Amino acid sequence: MSAVDAALPPSRLRRFKRSRSRSAARSWWRQPTMLIGLTIAAIWIVVAIFAPLLAPHDPLAQDFAITQAPSGAHPFGTDELGRDILSRVLVAARNSLPLAVLLVLCAGTLGTTLGVVAGYVGGWVDGLIMRLADLFSAFPAIVLAMVVTASLGPSTRNAVLALVTVTWPIYARVVRSLVLSIGQAEYVQAFRLHGASARRAMWKEVLPNVMGPIIVLATIYLADALLLLAGLSFLGLGTQPPTPEWGSMISVGTQYFQNWWMATFPGLAIFSAALAFNFIGDGLRDVFDPQSQIGSGARGGSESVEEDA
């Protein structure tokens, strides 16, 4: 369904879904924003998979009919090299969406692993990991990413690498405090009293319960990842031309300011995809976090989690 579902091993996901009560499952569908988000996300995933078939023109084919306003032949108009913008927007989905998923997967895995280690091992290891997290979050993501990509050279790979470097602390913090608080919970203590080793308790009881918040966080940060990647490309530090990319298309649009269609349509693409992920994340939050039934608001939930710890 959504990219996040695909990101989880099916066994764990099933276990996870089974553990939810029926009423929660029903409230899923009662939320129109969740439905809208799922629909838009599904459309984008279909587009990303079948883009070459859906695109009316070759996204790289240049033509003498440059900077043409939207018309029947080119519904989104043409760019400064006469390329069809609709085709470019569609094909760019193959580039931007998997990259955002990749970024969230890498940062999520790294952050979760370090968070579990920090919470589980404790002591100086915990101190070291958390100070590192503080360090990397002392810079605004885009500034540090800008420096990293500028140093390593602008490319798609370096943009992802840079953003992984700056986003893993988000996951590490949340996972660490969850591991700490769930580790204290009575059902985990009871499991331990039955003779389970700490490691076994971690795998059987703690980790499955950490996954819920992590999925919510990952969905919401999928939207963020999309925006950050597009921002870096907009600054010329991400995916390089001629590969179609939403952020860099907008960047070209700034130079052809009077031709509104050049920037508007790629921007709408980013906006709709990010909105879809935020809608889904917001809905998942209500399902996975019974607390948020009262206050389904706070983004990411890292704050409330940290206060608990």
Interface residues with other proteins (CB under 8 A)?
Answer: 33, 131, 134-136, 138-144, 146-153, 223, 227, 230-231, 234-237, 247, 250, 253-254, 257-258, 260, 263-264, 266-267, 270-271, 274-275, 277-279, 282, 292, 294-299, 303
Compare residues 23 and 151 and give the one whose CB is closer to other proteins. Answer: 151
Min. distance of Cβ 203 from other proteins in angstroms? 32
Closest among 7, 178, 196, 15 to 97, alpha carbons compared: 7
Tokens 């959504």 sit on residue: 2
Min. distance of Cβ 293 from other proteins in angstroms? 10
Min. distance of Cβ 184 from other proteins in angstroms? 20
Closest among 161, 176, 156, 143 to 106, alpha carbons compared: 161
Radius of gyration of the chain (CA): 22
Min. distance of Cβ 266 from other proteins in angstroms? 8
Min. distance of Cβ 93 from other proteins in angstroms? 15
Compare residues 108 and 253 and give the one whose CB is closer to other proteins. Answer: 253
Compare residues 52 and 295 and give the one whose CB is closer to other proteins. Answer: 295
Whether residue 140 has a cis bond before it, omega within 30° of 0: no
Q: What does the alpha-carbon distance between residue 34 and residue 28 come to, in Å, rounded to a whole number? A: 7
Q: Are 119 and 188 in contact (CB under 8 A)?
A: no
Q: What does the alpha-carbon distance between residue 204 and residue 218 come to, in Å, rounded to a whole number? A: 22
Compare residues 62 and 68 and give the one whose CB is closer to other proteins. Answer: 68
